[in-house]
Amino acid sequence: MLKYTNDVKVFLIFVIFEKKSTLNQLFMNFSKIRFILVFLITCNFQVYAQSSDKSIAGISLDRLEHYEEFISQEIKQDNIPGAAVLIVRNGKIVLQESYGHRDIEDQSLMKTDDIFFIQSMTKPIITAAFMMLFEEGHFMLTDYVSKYLPEFKNLRVIKNMNDSITGETKALEKEITIAHLLTHTAGLTHGLGNSQFELGYRKEYFMQEWPDIKSRAIQASKLPLVDQPGNIWYYSVAPDIIATLIEKFSGMSTNHFLESRIFKPLNMTDTGYNLSKEQQARVVKVTNKNDKGNLINSDYQPPTKKNTIWSGVNGLFSTTSDYMTFCQMIMNNGQWNGTQLLSRKTIELMTQNHVGDKYPAEGVGFGYGFAVMLDVSKTDLLGSNGNIWWGGAFNTHFFIDPKEKLISIFMTQLNPYTNYYHDKMKQLVYQAIVD
């Protein structure tokens, strides 16, 4: 039904009760008045129609409800405890919402400013920080790592991954370059597999007490590689070595460098390796499923204070809002709020595929810190060529689509990791685009 604004009503009253007007004059001017009324009503109708259009920045809010319904169902079915979501397109917030619980034991509700342990979503931030030092001329991407860390000069390569970490090895054919570190092609591993070698690597690298990040990173030089540098893409602890190089080149701790060069300029006030007492109250509990398939709080909860390992692999806490600001800086060619953190050309370099067809997913490559969509038709996912993304082990996920000017972030705290929530995010966010 057509609705009239108060302005139209006032106009009618004014016309009828204007003292100097006569009935004859009103009649004589009726055609003019009618024209004005039609014009005003038409304008009002257009405004009303626009306000009824449930879309923001070309994304239908009605269609986006499919995504919210999916998340609600996952919570209802006890698959995740809760989640926080933030979607921005063309610089406008399309959806910022929280669902479920921060802590399933005390049933405290999730809030949009809750803090998550983002695990490997630390890696893109560390990479961006490192590329700032590249722009200052501290190193070349083709430099051997051993030029700055001599411990990486004479490495060995495991002959058989089924052997233990002390199994037979072979000599290094070529040295690791910095570019190899950035692209996970150095031959290093993360120790995530179940082979005897991976299990041993995980124990010797992650399950030891280290005083600082350099001590842990140097441990990687004492353990065999899984392959010759440059041969394969293999997810690895390389960002820890990058964090160590940040400290060497900058003369400050990785923690201090991130704080001063990224977090402060971007006003990422809830991002860091250690949290204040107030921030600790907002930390989302990590969950897993028990033998009965029910969600429970995990025995392991990441320490929120007194951390001294400024890791590039993981370690950072953050919120959807903070991480969104970082993503917007990347999408905006390194600029944010009048500050140029990275050059446009550096961002271009970081977001291109540097690994050929070595990445273990069809239609996908890898840049510096991000996976890169190369051919949508080969991925069976919605998206755009040039889309970049990554995720964290407790199921924090994001993607940046420069073509669509779209960023989407999903955060929960569920162990173990799955690609499922990343893929569903792409499916149900992209389908809501209507422009």
Give φ, ψ of 331 to 5 degrees. -70, -25
- The residue type of 50 is Q
Query: What is d(CA 83, CA 74) in angstroms, rounded to the nearest whole number?
Result: 10
DSSP alpha helices (H): ranges in 122-164?
A: 122-135
pLDDT on residue 235: 98
pLDDT of residue 43: 45
Stated pTM of the model: 0.88
In whole angstroms, what is the distance from residue 417 CA to residue 299 CA?
Answer: 16
Per-residue buried b or exposed e for 404-429, using 16+ beta carbons within 10 Å of the residue's own CB: bbbbbbbbbbbeebeeebbebbbbbb
For residue 261, report the phi and psi dihedrals to the nearest 5 degrees. -100, -20
What distance in Å separates the CA atoms of residue 247 and residue 242, rounded to the nearest whole number?
A: 9
181-210 per-position pLDDT tens digit: 999 999 999 999 999 999 999 999 999 999
Residue 357 has which token pair?
A: 């067809």
Residues 16-50 have pLDDT tens digits of: 334 444 444 544 454 444 444 444 444 443 443 34
Chain length of the chain: 435
Would you state the pLDDT for residue 53? 60
Q: What's residue 233's pLDDT?
A: 98
Give the integer Cα–Cα distance in Å for 108 and 373: 38
Q: Which residues of the chain have pLDDT under 70?
A: 1-53
End-to-end CA distance of the chain: 26
